[in-house]
Structure 1
Amino acid sequence: MHQPGIPHLAAADAEVAALVEGEARRQFEKVRLIASENYVSAAVLEATGTVLTNKYSEGYAGKRYYEGQQFIDPVETLAVDRAKAVFGVDHANVQPYSGSPANLAIYLALVEPGDTVMGMALPAGGHLTHGWGVSATGKWFRAVQYGVRKDTGRVDLDEVRELALAERPKLIFCGGTAIPRTIDFPGFAEIAREVGAVLVADIAHIAGLVAGGAHPSPVGHAEIISTTTHKTLRGPRGAMLMSDAKHAKALDKAVFPGLQGGPHNHTTAAIAVALGEAAKPEFRTYAADIVANAKALADALVERGFDLVSGGTDNHLILIDLTGKGVAGKPAAKVLDRAGIELNYNSVPFDTRKPFDPSGVRLGTSAITTRGLRVEHMPQLAEWIDRAIAAGDDAEVAAVAAEVRELLAGFPMPGWS
C-alpha cells in the first residue's frame, strides 16, 4: 500500500485513492528507467502533503504581501540557505513552479523580445525552453541553435564558438534533456565571455550528480544556473534558479512579480528536505552509484548490439538509436512498458523520423539506483530490454515482466509498503 498511508483520501474519495494505490504498485513493480524520474524519500513525500499547502505567501521572506508568515519565512529561508550551501552559489531562488517557468524567468530578467539567444537544438539533446521553435522562447526571441557532430554525437565547441561569433547572442544555454556526456562548462564560459553573452547552465538532469560530486559544477563558469528539483536531485516537482550576486535581484524580480504569484510552500518545504538529504555524505555515494550503474548498463547494451548515441555515457543518461535493431522508438517503448521496463521514446541527433515517432529511446539510472540496484544487475536489465524488443509474442513479454517483478520484490521502494 501507499506509504505514508492515505486513509482519509480513501474514505473521502475511493476512486482517486484507488488510482493512487495503483500508481504506487506500478512504481514498485516496474524497472523505472525514465531519465527525468526518481523516487523521493518518505520525508519528502510527507513534506509535500502538509498543511503548508494552505498558505499564500506572495513575495519573499521578510517582504510578503500576506500576513501569517511566521513559519513560512523560515521554511523558505532554510531551503535557500541549503541550496546555497549544497551548490556553493551566491544566490538561490526556490520559488519557480517548474523548470520551464524558471528558464522563462531568465529571459525576462536579461533579454528583450527579439534579442538573439543561443541554445542546444532539441533534436540534439537540448530543451524546448532553450529557444526551440514551438516554445515561447523560440517565438519571442531570435533563437539560434547548436548541435552535435554526426560522427561523435558530441558537442564541438569550435563549431559553437563560430556560431556564437557570427550571431552574437545575449544568452547562451548549455545543458539539456538528452545529453549523455559531461558538459564542458569552462569551454562554454570562454565562448560566452568572448562574445559578451551571459552563460546559463541548465542542470535539471544532472543537479544531483553535481551536488554529489559525480559531475563537474557550473559554479564559477555560468553566471546563472537553472535546475529542477526532482530527477537526480531526488526532490519534489519544483525548480530553482541560482546565480552570482550580480544577477540575483533581476532573477528574483522576474520570478515574482514577473511570472508568478504565491510560491507553493509545501513544495518549498520538500525542496528543503531534499537539499538536506543531498548534503549528507551518503548522497555522494548515491550519485557515484548512479553513474556507475549507467556506465555498466551502457556497456551491457553495447555488448548486445545496441547503438548508443556518443557511444556511451558519462552521467545517468543513455540515448539509444534503434535504427540498427529494425524498430522505432515508440513501439519499442510500448513493448518495454508491457514487459515491466519503463522508459521514453526519444529523438536522436539527425533523426529522420518525426518527434512523435522517433528512432530512439532514452533511459536513466537514477530511480533504479534509489531502489538499490547495483552494477551487477545491469547485464540482466540489458538482457530484458533486448528480449522484450525482440519478442515475437505476448507470452515472452509477459515472461520478462514476471522476472522483473520477481527481482524488484527484493528492493524496497520509498512510498510503498
Structure 2
Amino acid sequence: MYAPQAAYFSTGLDADPELAAAIRGEEKRQCDGIELIASENLVSGLVLAAQGSVLTNKTVEGAPFRRYYGGAAFADAIETLAIERAKRLFGCACANVQPHSGSNANAGVFLGLLKLGDVVLAMDTAAGGHISHGHPATLTGRDYRIVRYGVSRDTERVDMAEVRRLALDHRPKMIVAGGSAYPRALDFSAFRAVADEVGALLIVDMAHFAGLVATGLHPDPSLRGARGGLALWNDPALSDRVNGGIFPGVQGSVMLHAVAGKAACLGEALRPDFALYCAAVVENARVLADALVEEGLRLVSGGTDTSLMLADLTPLGTTGDVVAKALERAGLAVNKNLIPFDPRPPEAPSGLRLSSNAGTARGLGVEEFREIGRMIARIAHAPQDEGVIADAAKAVAEMTARFPIYISERPTYAREF
C-alpha cells in the first residue's frame, strides 16, 4: 500500500536544490536588474499567490457551470469572477479568459470565425506585427491566406491608404489591427471603416497596450498581471464560435491557477491607482524616448504613443544582439528587434525594443527613466567598453536598491561588480 512521505504536502523549494537555485537566481535577477522588455511586467504579491495556489491541482474543461468534470463549484466562481471583471474593465459584453496566451487567443478567434484558406489582412512582422497574426512558421500562417500591410518608409507609421487598397484588392474575411513592436497609436476608426467597406471582421490585438485601453489612455479598439490571453467581443452572436475556437479548438483543460491570476490582476486594474500607473507608464516612456534621442539614438517613427519604442542602431554601426548583451551585463534587460525594412536577420537585427512597463511598476519615475535612457545610449555607443558597462551596472544597483521589489519574500543578496 502506498503512503505519501510525511513531507510531501509541506516541503517547499528547498527539497529540490537545483530547481531552487535557478528560481532564486531569477528572483535575484529581477530584484537587482531593471526590466525594459515590452512583453514583461512585475506582478503583485496577490497575483503570485493566486497563481501558486492549490488551483494548479484542478482540471476543468468547458464553460463555467457547464463543465465536463465534477468538483468545479469554486472553479466556476473563479472563472466567472475573471470574466465579469474583464467585461467591466473593458466595457464589453462578452469575454473568454481561458486562453493560455495571447497567441492562443488569436489562434482560437481565427479558428472560430474563419474557414481554412480564408484571406486575413494583418500587419507584417517586419513592420511590428506579431507572429501569431499569420507568420509562415505558425499555424495561422499555414491555415489561412495572409496578406500583409506594413508602414510607410517616410513616416514608419501604418499607411491606411495602403491598408484600404490591399483590402479592396484581396477582400479579406478578417483584418487584424495591432502588433508587438509598433510604437504608435493605431487609428481604429479608420480600420473599422475599411473592414466595413469590404465586409470583413475586425480583430484588435492589444496585448501590449490593454492597460492603456482599459484606462482610456489609448483609443478604444499590458495589463500588469498574470501571463495568459483574453478574448473580448460585443456581439453575442459570435460567442459560440469564439468560445468553440478556443475550447476545444486550440486548447483543452483550463489552467485554473492562471485564470485566478487573471482575476486578481483584473481586479487590481479596476482600482483607481491602476489609472495612475498607466498614466505614469506613458509619461515615463516619453521621457525615456526623449533621453535616447537627446543622446543621439534614432527612434523608429520618431518616438512613441504607448509604453514601447524601437531604437535603430544602424547609425551607430552596431546591432541589437550586441547591444542587448552589453546592456544585460549592466543589469538592463531589453530585447533585440527587427525594425521596418531591416536588411539584417532576426538573430542580429538593427534594433532594440524598450518599454517602461516594469520599471514603472516598481516605482521608477521620470528622473530614473531619463538616467536609464542615458545609460542605454552610452552602452549603445560603446558596447565593448568595460568601463562604461561597469559604471552603468553600479548605477542600476543603486537605483534598484532605492526601489526594491518582493521584499518580504526575498533573501538578502550582495551584488557583485
Q: TM-score, normalised by structure 1?
A: 0.93
The reply to whether residue 185 of structure 1 matches residue 188 of structure 2 is yes
Q: How many residues align structurally?
A: 398
SS in 1 for 2:183: coil
Task: Name the CA distance, whole Å, in 2 between partners of 1:303 and 1:37.
Answer: 26
Aligned to 1:9: 12
* Correspondent of 1:326 among 302, 305, 317: 317
Residue deviations 1:80-130 (CA, integer Å, cap 9, x gap): 000000000110000011111111111111111211111000010001111
The reply to whether residue 27 of structure 1 matches residue 17 of structure 2 is no
Residue deviations 1:374-415 (CA, integer Å, cap 9, x gap): 112222111111222233432331221111111110102147
CA deviation after TM superposition for structure 1 residue 262, in Å: 1.2
Aligned to 2:63: 60
CA deviation after TM superposition for structure 1 residue 185, in Å: 0.9
The reply to whether residue 409 of structure 1 matches residue 401 of structure 2 is yes
SS in 2 for 1:318: strand
The reply to whether residue 234 of structure 1 matches residue 224 of structure 2 is yes
Q: More displaced, 44-53 or 398-407?
A: 398-407
Aligned to 1:399: 391
CA deviation after TM superposition for structure 1 residue 325, in Å: 1.1
Task: Name the CA distance, whole Å, in 1 between partners of 2:189 and 2:54.
Answer: 43
Task: Name the CA distance, whole Å, in 2 between partners of 1:100 and 1:13.
Answer: 32
Q: Which runs of 4+ in 1 moved over 6 A?
A: none
The reply to whether residue 347 of structure 1 matches residue 342 of structure 2 is no
Q: Provide the aligned C-alpha RMSD in A.
A: 1.2
Residue deviations 1:313-369 (CA, integer Å, cap 9, x gap): 001001011001111111011111111111000000000101111100001000000
Q: Within 5 Å, give how 1:283-362 maps onto structure 2.
A: 283-362=274-353
SS in 2 for 1:79: helix
Aligned to 2:157: 154
Residue pair 1:35, 1:366 contacting (<8 A) in 2 also = yes
Task: Name the CA distance, whole Å, in 2 between partners of 1:28 and 1:176.
Answer: 29
Residue deviations 1:15-54 (CA, integer Å, cap 9, x gap): 1111111111100111110011000000000000100110
The reply to whether residue 211 of structure 1 matches residue 214 of structure 2 is yes
Unaligned runs of 5+ in 1: 1-6, 219-231
Aligned to 2:7: none
Residue pair 1:148, 1:156 contacting (<8 A) in 2 also = yes
The reply to whether residue 165 of structure 1 matches residue 168 of structure 2 is yes
Task: Name the CA distance, whole Å, in 2 between partners of 1:347 and 1:176.
Answer: 13
Aligned to 1:376: 367
Q: TM-score, normalised by structure 2?
A: 0.93
SS in 2 for 1:82: helix
Task: Name the CA distance, whole Å, in 2 between partners of 1:396 and 1:181.
Answer: 32
CA deviation after TM superposition for structure 1 residue 134, in Å: 2.0
SS in 1 for 2:59: coil
Residue pair 2:127, 2:150 contacting (<8 A) in 1 also = yes
SS in 2 for 1:18: helix
CA deviation after TM superposition for structure 1 residue 256, in Å: 1.2
Aligned to 2:238: 247
SS in 2 for 1:320: strand
Task: Name the CA distance, whole Å, in 2 between partners of 1:364 and 1:409.
Answer: 21
Aligned to 2:248: 257
SS in 2 for 1:239: coil
SS in 1 for 2:203: strand
Letter in 1 for 2:46: A
Task: Name the CA distance, whole Å, in 1 between partners of 2:369 and 2:54.
Answer: 41
Letter in 1 for 2:385: D
Residue pair 1:213, 1:287 contacting (<8 A) in 2 also = no
Residue pair 2:296, 2:377 contacting (<8 A) in 1 also = no
Residue deviations 1:49-97 (CA, integer Å, cap 9, x gap): 1001101111111101110011110000000000000000110000011
* Correspondent of 2:138 among 135, 151, 158: 135
Residue deviations 1:219-255 (CA, integer Å, cap 9, x gap): xxxxxxxxxxxxx211111111011222111111111
Task: Name the CA distance, whole Å, in 1 between partners of 2:387 and 2:301.
Answer: 34
SS in 1 for 2:55: helix
Residue pair 1:290, 1:366 contacting (<8 A) in 2 also = yes
Aligned to 1:83: 86
Residue deviations 1:195-239 (CA, integer Å, cap 9, x gap): 000000000100111112211111xxxxxxxxxxxxx21111111
Aligned to 1:226: none
CA deviation after TM superposition for structure 1 residue 299, in Å: 0.7
Letter in 2 for 1:135: T
SS in 2 for 1:144: strand
Q: More displaced, 235-244 or 173-182?
A: 235-244
SS in 2 for 1:233: coil
Aligned to 1:274: 265
Letter in 1 for 2:283: A
Residue deviations 1:122-155 (CA, integer Å, cap 9, x gap): 0100011112222221222111000000110100
The alignment-based identity, stated in percent, is 49
Task: Name the CA distance, whole Å, in 1 between partners of 2:75 and 2:141.
Answer: 36
Aligned to 1:3: none
Task: Name the CA distance, whole Å, in 2 between partners of 1:195 and 1:305.
Answer: 44
Aligned to 2:200: 197
Aligned to 2:49: 46
Q: Within 5 Å, give how 1:95-106 maps onto structure 2.
A: 95-106=98-109
Residue pair 2:37, 2:334 contacting (<8 A) in 1 also = yes
Letter in 2 for 1:412: P
